[in-house]
Each structure stands twice: as C-alpha cells, then as structure tokens.
Structure 1
C-alpha cells in the first residue's frame, strides 16, 4: 500500500543568470551522476536544476537509475534517469515535475496534481555532489550562509569523501582558518583566530563538553563515517553554550535513513599498511517509508611513518527515524567506537641551543609497550514536530560514555650540542580515564508577520553535564633513552612503581554542569535590511575533587566554581546589496569560567571575558551552488588566568592579561564553473599582548603557534567528452612561519613557511564501481607540523603517501 500523503523528494532553486533567468526546463545543465538508487539520482537532478519533484516513496523503492552524464535539460535528465523504471515524468500545471507509474491499465495508480510547498531548506549534504551547503544548522534553525552573520565553513560529505577525511583531526587540518597543534600527551589542539577551541562541540546541535582533557587535548576518537557533514563556526560561540569559548564551535551532523534504499561498499589500501573497509546501508524499513534505517560498519588497521606506531579502529553505527504522523518524526541512534593502538607520543627533542637534530622522520623515541585503548558509546535521540507551515519544535538529546586506559613513555630533555649519543630521562605515565557526557536541547522556531514584513523567532533551552572520573600518575623511569640511537625495549615498570615515584598524579573527579535559556529574533526592518538580536542566560557549576600524589604521598585537592544568570548577548545586522551580495556586522560577548584557578589568598578567579566583532560581505551565486565570503574580525580577551609572580611555588594565579586578535578571512565554496567544485580559504591573523602580568611581554605576539598567513584550497573537476568518467582533484595547505618561545632558554623554536600539495584522480568503472587514488604531500616536503621545546614536543608532518580506494554504490 502506497503512502497516502505526497512526498516532496527535493526542492532547490534554479540555476540563474544575474539578469532575467530563463525557465528551468529550457536550460541545459552539465550532469555527472553515476548509476545508483533512482531516488538519489532524482534528488541530485532536482538539487542541481532547482526543480521541484513530487512522488510516492514506494514508487522508487528498490529501483536503480542509469548514469546521467552530459549536457542536457533537467527534463531530459529526469527522463534518462527514469528509463527502464516503468515510471514516467509528468509536468504539472505549475511547471513542476511529478513521477508516476507508466502503466495505463485500470489497476495503475494515477496521481493528481500535487500541492507543492515553497523551497526546502534541507541541509543534508549527502547526494548533493557539492562542496557548499544549501543551509547550515549550527546556530539553530536552518539558514543559508549568506543569512548567517558569522563565519561558518561546512565540510560536506563530498568533501570528506574526496579527501579521505576520516578523523576530526584530518577534517580540521583541511578546514579554512583552523590551525592544528599536536599535544605531547596525545590528541591535538585546534586554534581559530588566534585562540584555542576548547570543548565547543555539538552533536546535531546539542552541546557537549567532550575534549579539553589531558589525554585528548581538543580532539577525541570520532570517525567521520557516521556523519553527513561537519559545520565549523569561527569566532565566539557563547550563544550556543553558556561557557562559550573565544575561538568557535564544531557541529557534527549524523547520517540518517533515506527514503530510498542505498548501499555503499568502500575498500581502501594505502602507504604504511593503511587498510580500511566500510559498509554503509540504509533506506525504508516498511512499505510506506515511514520507518527508515541506517547502518554503518567500519574497520581500519594502520601503521605510521614512524617506528612502532600502529592503530586499529572499529566503528558501528545504527539509526532509526519514524514518522509518527506527517507532522512528527522521532529519531534514535547509537554509535560505538573502539581504538586499540600503540601510540608514539611526546614528539622529538632538539639540541640544547634549540637547533634541529635532523633525525629521520621515521624516528620514534617511545617504548614498544606503549598502549592506548579507547572505547566510546554514544546514544542519540531527537524529535521534530511541525505545528504548521510556519512553526516547528525540535527536541534532541545525546549521551556519550568514553573509557581510556593508557600507558606510555617518552624522553624529555635536550641533547648537548655536538653529541653523538645521549642519556635522556624517560617519563612514564599511566591513565585510567572515564568520562560521561550528556546534553539536551529544545527550541521552537517560527515565523510571524508584523509591520508588513515576515520575521523569525527562536526560543529554546539547553543543558549539558560532564563527569570525569580519572586516575593518572607520571613518574621518571629508571632507564634512559639514547635519542640518537633509540631502544624501544626499555623495561616496563609495574603500576606500583608509578604510585611510589609519581612526580604528579592522583585521582580526579570533576563535574561540570551547564544549563540556560536562549532566544534569537530576526527582524526584517525593510526588504533589504535584517536585524538579528539574541541573548542567552546561563548557569554554570564545576566541582573538582581529587588527591595530588607525590612520591607515594597524597594531598587532597578541591575547587569549585559557580556562575548564575550570566547573560551573553549577540547582535547582528544584514543588508542585501542585491540578489547576490549581503553585507553584515555582528557582535558577541565572551564568557569562560576559571573556577579551577586560585589566587594567592585562595579565592576563585573571575571568569575570562571579552568581546568579538565581525564585519563582512557574503555572496550567494547560481542559486546557492556557490558561496563566497570576506570578513574583518577583532577579538579582545581579558582577565585570563596567569601565574602570579608573587606566589612562591607557582601554584596560584591571578586575573591578568589582555590580548587582541584581529585579521581577515576570505572563502569560496561550491561550483565556481561548470563541473568544478572548490573550497578555498585564506586567513590573516595577528595576535598581540596588550597587558600581561610580566610587563616584558606587552606588545609581543600572543599566540605564535598560529601562523599569520594560512591558506587551505581543494578543488575537484569532472572531465567531459571522451574522458567523462574521469575526475581530478588537487589542493594545497600552505602557511607562513610559526614558532614557540622556549620557556627554558627563551630561544625561538620555529618552522619556516611551507606548502603541502595533495592530489586525487578518480575513474568511474561502470554504473556501480569507481576507483580513486589520493596522494598527500606529493612533493615529499620535510617539515615540522608542530614545534615544541628543546626537550620534547616537535612533531614531523607526514611524508608523501598514497591511498587507493574502491567503491560500489547500489
């Protein structure tokens, strides 16, 4: 039995010229769609051409479409996709497309003219074949990039697939405006506009406190196999989460079950025994398509360009979406991720004068008994209810449980200048890490009319809770390492050794609770002018209890921080210059509690505060298939925690410091010319210390890790004519010099500017199979991706490597 209510497969706006656009049906467009599920192909044609298509989901269930390649009208593309399907295309009286059974006997279903609603703002990037999104959801609701008065980059599914981006670290390394910095104890730090992005993560819009731990830095084990896209906001994000950081936020949007069956099988093999296999399948689970499912299974094993390092990942994901009614949909999902690895952490040391040891890039100074085991289970749940054409409610929740057990050792100490061997102390660590996070978000989004214009109102509330129940111990090991001739088989101590000889460590029990209410109103003051005004009222509480171990003895520690009724305002204004260009300006506050720091009198430090300003112009071209942006930004941050020079043992802090980051960003994403997809971003960042507890630092660079110039480019081009089965891609990650001032000698340990070139070539074998070869660091540039100190923390970037992948879509 077919679904009794009509299903709008896809809605998009037509490709247009800046002058009077021709009717969509008369235009010829270039299509490059491989064979695949019929519903997906029809959806892609609709998205590219801007045509509305209506049909019953059951009509296309289980049907395949042939490849649609070449230059043709949207009507011709639809007819080619429908060939052999026993379905036919009908053009409605409104000029829209309708798909019906081709049979004309008395038992055939005859569809009448369907009532079509206005343009959809569905932000799903799967199947779009685009490097730019139709809309973004990181700021609640669904708005185009041009309607968003802040800087947002979306890494779409096509971008993730084309560059083989499988981890959050890989995604952030290719995102415009983001600097990635290795932590000596594992994980990576992310910087945006000169500041660290600290735990500003969302799952489907629900904020969590994941990351920002000594064993994760700002990253964590999260495979991209289960996500449709990653939305990255640069700039203050206090409106999204009470303790909003200065740098930005990241929203992971998970995959959902589709209305048509689709399965993708992918296999890949690469340099350093890098093997990965994945099955991704989904579609309707009942006859009328009201119950839809999605399942993803991924396994990867790999070694690295350095000695002893290896890793095995297992990812399992399942999701269900059920339409309780045409107006209400509920969804649930579960993801399980397992990492079993032998890490190589700590990086490399340098000579005592800060000069480079010039070790082989394959050098790892860790022990072979290093181990890391991480297991994460995440539950998702949400509901969306549409009251009418203007108002909707969305409720979502996420629960995540992560356990990590680790033991590792690495050398810490510089090498005397001119030495041919060293006797460098080894630092060993054990960690038993458990973290539980859960979050909730609910909001009402609607439109209303007043003063002859239509406006939008969002009212909502969210909450997050994080608990870390950890134990760790760090101790100097009895054996030493020869940095110039490393031994990976130094003796492994038992746990009792760490406890008896710990230089730091102990149990840690930390709880962080945040909750608040928020509201945003978009007022259309005139046809070209929109005013965006928002505010969030937040409550925050953190409690930290533990015992500090030193040589087997423990000292109880406890700290607490509370903030009540903290108001974080946001204001923005947008002015449409014409149909394609919009100028904007925005302002938001910064608020980050610092309750874990104590003054010399034992008092809790005040929160870090600041202001963020942005002024820019955004463009939307070819009806959203291409987006552009340029902005100027300035952020002033003050009252950050700094060591108090009056404190005798460096255990107390003071509210001091005032720093400024400013610069500009330029970005282009989408189809710049026919068959060419591009994501390109350039960022100029200048940071400066305005006031510091140490007056000698005034006027110096605040964050020298972040390069002043940063360029991220990736493009993919589909050839035509006799080579229409071939796609080629190329890109570059380039940056200017960055450095770190050694806390020991005051030397600048620097990495000069560099450019890393990457490429891809793909070939569609037939209607099901395709193959691609990706190459990274094609010119085998030797460089340090992260610079540290004389003693440790210098990490080489990956040498040249290749990955061959084979995919089947059916």
Structure 2
C-alpha cells in the first residue's frame, strides 16, 4: 500500500490541474462500466482512502476525489464476487459519494448531495497506479501507454526505443515549437538549414517526412526545400511520441531514423480552463488560453478550444517573429460504444528571419563575430500559414475489440523573401567583402492521410493474444517556385549593413542564377497486420508485415550552373513487403528483454542521376536488442538498447557533375551503403518521491561501407551527429514548509561534431545547462522562472562551411511565466 506521503505527492500533481476546476454539483447518471465480468474481491476493512486505493489497484482504473471528502471515513472492506460497477457501488454505500466517469478507466468521486450551486474541488487525491496514454493532468514525465504503433501499449511492451515528451515536460521546459521539442529529445540531433528550418537526425540518419497526427501518417517534411521543420505549435498537443529506428511498419516508406507522432489534446469530461502568460529575454511574450468541457447535460458532447499568441525578438540582429495558433475540437458519443472526434487548427507565422548563417576564415577557424551578427536584411520576410483538419471514429464492439478510423488533411502556404551573404574571410583583412544574394520563394504543400484498423484480444491455449489489422495511405503534393539572384551590394561581416535596397519581385526570375519550378505528388497506401502471440506467460512473439504501393511523380524546370534542365520522373513500387518481428521476455515483474528486426524501404525519386532518372529506393535492415524496466506501477520507465542499421542504395552527391533538376545543382548516385550502430539509454518518470526525471544517453557510430569516393570507405558517414549525446531534465518538489516550491534543472551535452568540405570545420564538445524555479501561489496558479544556457556557453549549434551556414546557439536567456487553472 502506498504511504501517506506518496498519496500527498500524487494529490499535488493532479491538484495543479483540477484544484481550481468548477463542476456542477448535479451529477448525471453514469453509463455502466464496460467490463461487467464478475470477479472475486478481497479488500480489507480500514480507512476509506485505503479501501479505494486497493480497489483501484485491483480494478486497473484511476479514481480521483477531494481529499476532504474521505478524510476520517472508514470502510468495512469488500468481499465477494461482483462486477466492477457493483464493487464500486458497494464501497461507496453510505459514504455520501458517487462516481462520475471521466474516461474508459478514469473516474471522479463527487458528493451525493446536489443543489444549484457549484462545487470547488480542493486538493485532489489520485488513486490507482496505472498511468494512461493521455499525459495531460497526469503530472508525470512518462506515460502509461504509447499509440504510435497502433493500439495502446506500454513502453515496456514496445520492442523499439520510444521517447515521449509529455504535457508536463513541455510545460516545465517552456517548449512551444517542434524545433525546441526535438532539440531536447534524447538521441535527436538538429541541424539548421541556411535556407531556413532545421533538419532532424536520429541514429545517424535524416528524418524525412516521418510524421503522424494521432497515428495517421503524413508526408510533411518530405523533400521540403526548407528542411524538415515546419510550423508546429505545441499548444495543440497532449504529447509527442518519438520512435527511433525503422518505422516502415507504421507507414511503409521510411529510413532507419524513426518517426514522430503528434497526439493532439482532446475535449475533457469536466469543465477546465487554463491561462498561461510569459515574458522573456529579447522581448519574448506569449499568451495561451485553453478551455473545454461538456457541452450538454449528459456529457456526450464535449468541446475544446485553444488559442496561443507569441511575439518574440532574437539574440540576432534583424531576426524577429510573430506567431499564433488556433485549435478547436469536438468529441461526440454517438452511442455508449462509439465516439466521433472532429478538430481543426490554424497556425500563422509572420517573421523577419536571419538565414544564411555566418562565414569563417578560409581555413575553417572562427572569425569571432558576435552572436548577434546577422548578414541578412531588414526587409527579410517569411509568411507561413498552415491549416489542419482532423477526424476520427472509435467504436468498441465489446470489451476486447475496437475499430478506429482517422483522417488528417494539412495545407501549408509559404511566401518567403530574404537576403544573405557568403564568402570566406582572409586573415588580417580589416574590411572583408562578401557577395550577397536574395531569394524569392512560393511554396504550396498539401497532405492527406487516412488510417483504419481493428485491434483486439483473443484467448488461445489458455493465454491472451492480440491482433491488429489495418490499412492506411497518404498523399502529399508540392507546388514550389523559387528564384535566387545576386545583389550588387557586398557585405562586410564585421560591420553588416541591414538596409540594402529591396529588389522588386519582378526582378528575380529574369536575373536569377538558380531557381525554377518543382511539382511533385507522392501517393502511398498499404495494408498491415500485427500479431502479438503469448508463447508462454513470460514470452511474447510479435510478428508484423505491411504491403505497400508507392507512386511518385516529380516534374521540375530548374536553372543551375547556368543551364536549364527539365525533369519528368515517375517512380512506382508495387507490393513492397516490409516485415517486422520481435520477441519480448519478462525477466520479472519489472524487467523485460527484447529483440526486434525491421525492414527499411525509402524511395529517392527527388534525386536524379546524370541521365535524369530517379534513384533506386533505399533498402536495408534495422536490428535492436534491449532491456526495459517499468517501476512503481508504471510511474517510472527505463530502457537500454543496442541498435544497428544498414542502408543500401543510399543517395550520394556526385560533385563532378551538374544536374539542373536537382535543388542543389548536383547529380546523385545510388551506390552508397552506410551503417549506423550504437547504444541508447533512457529514463523517464518519478525516480523518487516528488522527483520527476527525463533523460537519456546516446552513443552513435556511423560508417561508409560503400561510397562513390573510395577514400571515404570506412570513414564516418554522418559527421553532423555527435558520437556521444546526453540529455537530462529533472524537476523536484520541495517538502515541508517549502512544499510550494519546485526546482528544476537540466543539461544538454554532446561530444564534437564537424563538417568536411575540402577542409574540416569542427565544433568541440559542450554542455549547456538550464533550470527552473516555480512557486505554487495557490491551488490554481503557479509562477515560474526558466533559464537557458545558464553559463552563457558560446558555441556553434550548426557547423556549416567556411563561406556560410554557421549558426551560433542562443546566449543565456530567461523567461517568467504565470499559469492558472480554473
């Protein structure tokens, strides 16, 4: 049984979200619990709180209640054969309480007395030890289940490495964008593109379009001219699940890098409103409102709306940004077993960016520019608008089987105009002069995704097994126009001029040295199946397979290296089988060992050979061996994994050729073969009473096994990814008289990384520290101070070339935030 201290801790964690909520005292009649199967109960007499705790443990549900409503009350216990509803009713008999259902496995206990007023919940006690998939309101840095692999399975029962960024973790670290989130995710490396956005790498491989919304795969980020990052405001999401390793079973096409699943916030069963305000260094201001709850008396229609607005400057000259996000969602219980969910979001970015990066000396050494240096112009402009529509339907046939159908549509429009400079600096030159250029870009990307599957359990040979059968598909199209032209002005990196005359839009196309049009449509669909067989009580065999069809057509008309080139290439793949297999063996009640294998299949149609033909698809193998731990009834998860991935037919740049159809002007070959291997360790959740932790260590070794340049065989294949990487964040609630205070601290550390282009440009290893100090003013509001880069480490977050593309990381900065729940 949990100690009183443990109960108090859990009361505090959930109390932050529920303590200030107001609920109508009128309690609606509840639907019967789904599981009506009678079972034997044996709960000893004693305090009511203790009896409820035992019941929740045995029933596998979560109960929340006002601590004062059970204080001093005793229970005669419970013995006999009853179903769950009967057992809960028996426990509450004569106690003046009744249960209100919040979800499939979550219940709220309220006083039986009703009147026309409202009830304000005080400190809330949570009983029942199992966390669910939804992280909001859990107060935890871990989750009880992930949904990235269809269905709901605990981290321990997922035979691949998965990191989950929960709602509390995002709130505590002030994470508001996808860039910030992945920069703090163990094992993920970010690399800033000189044309805006960031590339993401996992296990030594670039993540290309491996995104899901509520499990529905989309091609967002695929062949994205501005790297893999897109506008994604975290105010919309409950959690983000990041799978590392081959994810072909989820979507079909994919590398050995992994996948990212954005799980949006859902309407709640109780009225809840939160308000968050923050102000920080460089005039960084943000406001966020999130409200929702039942829209009818029976609670069968529930709504939710969230709005966020942010305006921020930057440590770099010129750079500034405004963004806003709107989100609305509706859940409708069509029947007690069927729920329809609808949602829409709109994200808008209006920015004056500083792109292009900074130069170095010709030998690659830093020229010592200030971190505020920007070689761009005050008229730089980036407009991005993304609208996303969601829909899903969940139907429970019975206790064991359910159907889920989900659909997502997203459209992103971007209009960009910016200038930058490039050119190495000579030693001793007091007034170096760099060439300047300007770019004009117009992007229109549309993405559609649909996923449907049946998930259920069945009994055979005295054991319980699980079967998932499904199909999904996605269609992504892009219609891009871009032009890059030289500017007559030259830039002095030491004394940059941000007020060059702005060239008219009409001057770009006739004067460009690089640019053109690109239209691409990629359609893929497939069927999949996963069977989880219990070979014995401690041993599970997982067999899965997906059959995929892929059709990609790319049409381009591009100018590069002074020549126009046209491409009309089509790639079709039919009936590609992507198998997956795994074994999980339970060593004891806390530890499981596992091994898994997955295939790799990734079309490369956006890369062209000297003949203009698209490259062959990338194929390969992904292996993983690990051990996972689940402690304190799932409130703490840990993992240790060895991984190896081999990719064949990898695209390689042929710098001796010119291809106007390529975005960078070079031709490619598909003769590369690379290997990545290493170790990952991760921990998340409640390590000690009042202490939440999230972090991991990653060792990654990459190597060229085959390469267009024989001298590179055996060399590192991805030098952007550091050999050693460590991420850690922790949050500790003080005790006693200081119990209203919470202290958080974290570090992001890595070994050196570099880039080679004739010369080696290297960033030495570094460690960057951050912290948080929070004070709970009352049961509804909290004030916090976050600090990043506390020791003001000066380093390059991204290593470019000697001429361009080097980006400093943010200097020391602070943010004060206030959050209230009502």
Asked if Structure 1 and Structure 2 have the same fold, meaning a TM-score greater than 0.5 normalized by the shorter chain, the answer is yes
What is aligned with 1:670? 685
Judge conservation of contact 1:39–1:260 (CA < 8 Å) in 2.
no
Distance (Å, rounded) in 2 between the aligned partners of 1:237 and 1:37: 37
Relative to 1, partners in 2 of residues 1:88 and 1:323: Cα closer, same or farther, differing over 3 Å?
Answer: farther
Deviation at 1:477, TM superposition (A): 1.4
SS in structure 2 of the partner of residue 656 of structure 1: strand
Aligned to 2:356: 346
Match of 2:525, SS state, is strand
Select 1:288's aligned residue among 298, 322, 336: 298
- Match of residue 460 from structure 2: 450
Once residues 618 and 188 of structure 1 are traced to their aligned partners in structure 2, the CA distance between those partners, rounded to angstroms, is 31
2:160 counterpart residue number: 150
Deviations 1:54-104 (CA, angstroms, capped at 9, x unpaired): x96679xxxxxxxxxxxx966799898254799999887367565426567
8 A Cα contact 1:473 1:506, kept in partner = yes
Aligned to 2:753: 738
Matches within 5 A, 1:3-18: none
1:165 matched to 2:165? The reply is no
SS in 1 for 2:170: helix
Instruction: Give the superposition deviation at 1:257.
Output: 0.8
CA gap of 1:334–1:708, structure 2 versus 1, over 3 A, is same
2:450 aligned residue: 440
Mapped to 1, the partners of 2:690 and 2:418 lie a distance apart of: 49
Matched, 1:747 2:759: yes
1:29 is matched with 7
1:98-497 equivalence runs, <5 A: 98=92, 99-100=97-98, 102=111, 122-497=132-507
Give the corresponding residue for 2:672.
Answer: 657
1:378–1:27: structure 2 CA closer, same or farther, 3 Å change rule? same
Instruction: State the Cα deviation string for residues 344-372 of structure 1 (Å, max 9, x = none).
Output: 00110101111101100111110100000
Equivalent-residue separation in structure 1 for 2:301 and 2:341 (angstroms): 10
Q: Do the aligned partners of residues 554 and 748 (structure 1) sit closer, same or farther apart at CA in structure 2, a change above 3 Å counting?
A: closer
Partner of 1:81: 66
Q: For 2:509, what is the secondary structure of its paired residue?
A: helix
For residue 523 of structure 2, the aligned residue among 506, 510, 513 is 513
Q: 2:556 aligns with which of 546, 551, 561?
A: 546
Q: Look up the SS of the partner of 2:171 in the other structure.
A: helix
| Alpha-carbon distance change, 553 to 718 in structure 1, aligned in 2, over 3 angstroms | same
In the alignment, the residues of structure 1 paired with residue 658 and residue 576 of structure 2 have an alpha-carbon distance, to the nearest angstrom, of: 34
Give the Å deviation of 1:29. 3.1
> When the two structures are aligned, how many residues end up with a matched partner?
753
Task: Render the CA deviation track for 1:292-348: whole Å, top value 9, x for unaligned.
Answer: 111001100000001011100111100000101110000000001110000000110
Structure 2 equivalent of residue 698 of structure 1: 713
**Separation in 2 of the partners of 1:552 and 1:340?**
33
Change (3 A) 1:218 1:525: same
CA spacing shift, 1:293–1:387, aligned 2, 3 Å = same
**Contact persistence 1:429–1:474 (CA under 8 A):** yes
- After TM superposition, the structure 1 stretch with the greater mean CA deviation from structure 2, 153-162 or 446-455, is 446-455
Cα distance in 1, alignment partners of residues 614 and 351 from structure 2 = 39
1:582 aligned to 586, 592, 595, which one? 592
Q: 1:536-564, CA deviations, whole angstroms, 9 ceiling, x for partnerless residues?
A: 00011111113224699854331111111
Change beyond 3 A, Cα 1:142–1:551? closer
CA distance in 1 between counterparts of 2:307 and 2:421 reads 38
- Of 688, 699, 704, the match for 1:689: 704
Q: Secondary structure at the match of 1:169?
A: helix
Moved more, 257-266 or 120-129: 120-129
Contact 1:499–1:551 at 8 Å: present in 2 too?
no
CA distance in 2, matches of 1:229, 1:80: 25
Asked if 2 retains the 8 angstrom alpha-carbon contact of 1:367 and 1:409, the reply is yes
Partner secondary structure for residue 608 of structure 2: coil
Which residue is 1:729 aligned to? 744
Match of 1:68 in 2: none
Partner of 1:18: none
Contact (CA 8 Å) 2:310, 2:322: kept in 1 or not? Answer: yes
Residue pair 1:770, 1:807 contacting (<8 A) in 2 also: yes
Is residue 149–residue 574 contact of structure 1 (8 Å, CA) maintained in 2? yes
Partner deviation per Cα, 1:159-214 (whole Å, 9 max, x = no partner): 00000000000000110111111111111011111111111000000000111444
Q: Distance in 2 between matches of 1:211 and 1:593?
A: 14
CA contact (8 A) 1:268 1:277 kept: yes
Deviation at 1:575, TM superposition (A): 0.4
**Using the alignment, how far apart are the partners of 1:607 and 1:468 within structure 2?**
20
In the alignment, the residues of structure 2 paired with residue 37 and residue 30 of structure 1 have an alpha-carbon distance, to the nearest angstrom, of 10
Residue 93 in structure 1 maps to residue 78 in structure 2? yes
Q: 2:19, 2:779 within 8 Å by CA — same for their partners in 1?
A: no
* 1:608-623 equivalence runs, <5 A: 608-623=618-633
Q: Is contact 2:585-2:593 (8 Å) kept?
A: yes
Structure 1 residues 426 and 626: CA distance shift in structure 2, 3 A? same
* Corresponding position of 2:662: none
**1:756 correspondence with 2:734:** no
> Equivalents in 2 of 1:807, 1:218: separation in Å?
31
User: Normalised by the size of structure 2, how large is the TM-score?
Assistant: 0.87
Distance 2:694 2:788 in 1: 17
Secondary structure at the residue paired with 2:248? coil
- What secondary structure sits across from 1:593 in the alignment? strand
Distance 2:570 2:390 in 1: 30
Between stretches 546-555 and 677-686, larger displacement belongs to: 546-555
Change (3 A) 1:608 1:104: closer
Query: Any idea what SS the aligned residue of 2:235 has?
Result: helix
**TM value normalised by structure 1:** 0.89
Report the secondary structure of 2:506's partner residue.
Answer: helix
Alpha-carbon distance in structure 1 between the residues aligned to 2:796 and 2:415? 29
**2:790 equivalent to 1:778:** yes
Between the aligned partners of 2:505 and 2:191, the Cα distance in structure 1 is 31
Q: Which range moved further: 207-216 or 174-183?
A: 207-216
In 1, are the aligned partners of 2:322 and 2:351 still within 8 Å (CA)?
Answer: yes
Give the secondary-structure state (helix, strand or coil) at the position aligned to 2:675.
strand
Per-residue deviation, 1:415: 1.1
SS at match of 1:31: helix
Unaligned runs of 5+ in 2: 31-47, 54-62, 80-86, 99-109, 117-127, 660-664
Q: Out of 786, 806, 815, which is 1:803 matched to?
A: 815
Partner of residue 638, structure 2: 628
